[in-house]
Amino acid sequence: MIKPIGSDELMPLFVYDTDEHDTLSKEAEGLPSILISSAAAGNAVMMGGGYFTPLNGYMNVADAISVAETMKMTSGQFFPVPVLNLVENADGISAGSRIALRDPNVDGNPVIAVQDVVAVEEVTAEQMAMMTDKVYRTDDMEHPGVNAFNTVGRIAISGPIKVLNFSYFNTEFPDTFRTAVEIRNEIQEHGWKKVVAFQTRNPMHLAHEELCHMAMERLGCDGLVIHMLLGKLKPGDIPAPVRDAAIRKMVELYFPPNSAMVTGYGFDMLYAGPREAVLHAYFRQNMGATHFIIGRDHAGVGDYYGAFDAQTIFDDEVPAGAMEIEIFKADHTAWSKKLNKVIMMREAPDHEKEDFVLLSGTKVREMLGNGTAPPKEFSRPEVAQILINYYQSL
C-alpha cells in the first residue's frame, strides 16, 4: 500500500487511548482556553485524522513563511500550505504553557484539542501579504479564502496538539465522515491495490460520474474513493447532507458493488486553486489513494485561476519526489451529441461547443427550483429528484 508522506505510518493526533483521553479532557477544563477560528478547527480535525501526517501541530511563522514560498518547512519537510493557529488576542499565553483550544463550530464551544505552546508570534502585515499572494495568487478580499485567512487575527500560536474530538463531523455525518486511518483500513479490507480518489464539494452530475468510470478504466484501478468536503463552503453551495444523499444514490445505482466508497472529510474549503489541489493530493496519498483526479479549475472560485493551473503546478512547482500519488489530469467532461456518450472535451477536436450538452450552474439551479429535472444527458434522474426536493424546500 502507498506510504504516507514523510513517514512509514500515519501519525494521527487524535487521542485514541481512552484513559489518556479521559485524563486530558479533565485537564483541559482547567487550562487557559482560547476560541480558535473555523479554519484552525478544520486543521485540527485533519491532523487528528492523520491526513496531515507528519505534522504534529500548528506551524510557527518561519515554517509557514517557508511553506508559502517553497512548499517546504524549514526542516525540509514538504507541505503545500501554511497550517497556522491565528488569533486576534493571545494575552496570558506564552511559550511553555499548555492551552485548551475551543471549537467555534459547535454549540458551547467544547475543547477540540490541547496545545503545548512553543511560540506566540505576531505575523507582520508584510508576511501576511506574502503568504496570501503565494497561496491564493491574489490579495482580493472578495476571494473567500483570502478573506477568511486575513480576518482571523495576526497572532500565531504554534506547537504540537492532541485532538480530543472531530468537531461536528462525526456526529452530523456518521455514515460519511472518515479519518485517513479509517479509509486506509477500508481500502485494505476491500483488497484494492490501485485506488483513485475524486474530490467534490458539489453533487455529482453524469459528467462527474463518467469521469470517475473513465479514470478507473484507464488507470486500471480496482477502487474509487469519492471524498467529499463536509466543512464550510461559500454561500449558495449545496449543504453536505443533500450532496451526500445525491452521491450515495448515484453510487448505489450506477457503480458495481464494492467498487466505490462514499466518504467525507472535515475541512473548510480554501478555494486556493493550484495550491489547494496540491494539498488535496497530499492528504489523498495519506489516506491511501494511489491516484487522484484533478480536472478543470480544481478548487478554484471565480476567475482567479487558469483552467488548468491546478494541473500544471504539479509539473512546475511541486518539489521533485515530494509525493508518490499520481495525478489523473482531466479536462471538462460533457455529453457529446455526436457520439451519444460523455467524453473529455479535449479528446474531441472535431466537436464544436454546440455539439455538447452544456448547462450553466445558474440554469441548473433554476430548473431544479422549478421542479424540472435537467436532461438525462446531464444528470441521473434519481439524483436530480433529490436536488429538486432540496431546492423546492428553500
d(CA 383, CA 146) in angstroms, rounded, equals: 33
To the query of whether residue 201 is one of the catalytic residues in this protein, the response is yes
State which H helix or E strand residue 131 sits in.
helix 125-136
Q: Which is the catalytic residue, given 56, 98, 154, 201?
A: 201
Cβ neighbourhood burial of 197 (10 Å; 0-12, 13-18, 19+)? buried
Q: Pinpoint the alpha helices (H) of 199-348.
A: 206-219, 240-254, 274-286, 309-316
d(CA 253, CA 332) in angstroms, rounded, equals: 23
d(CA 310, CA 164) in angstroms, rounded, equals: 34
Cβ neighbourhood burial of 98 (10 Å; 0-12, 13-18, 19+)? middle
330 is written with which cell numbers? Answer: 482531466
Q: Which is the catalytic residue, given 56, 202, 248, 365?
A: 202
Amino acid at 303: D
Count how many Cα atoms sit within 13 Å of the Cα of residue 179 in the half-sphere of its side chain: 24
d(CA 328, CA 219) in angstroms, rounded, equals: 8
Amino acid at 8: D
CA distances 378 to 237, 305, 337, Å, are 19, 25, 12
Amino acid at 36: I
State which H helix or E strand residue 364 sits in.
helix 361-369
Which residues, in sequence order, are CB contacts of 360 under 8 Å at separation 6+? none
CB 32 within 8 A of CB 94: no
What are the DSSP E strand ranges found in the chain?
33-35, 57-58, 86-87, 98-102, 111-116, 119-122, 155-163, 195-200, 223-229, 260-265, 291-294, 326-329, 333-336, 341-344, 356-357
To the query of whether residue 202 is one of the catalytic residues in this protein, the response is yes
304 is written with which cell numbers? Answer: 482567479
Active site residues: 201-202
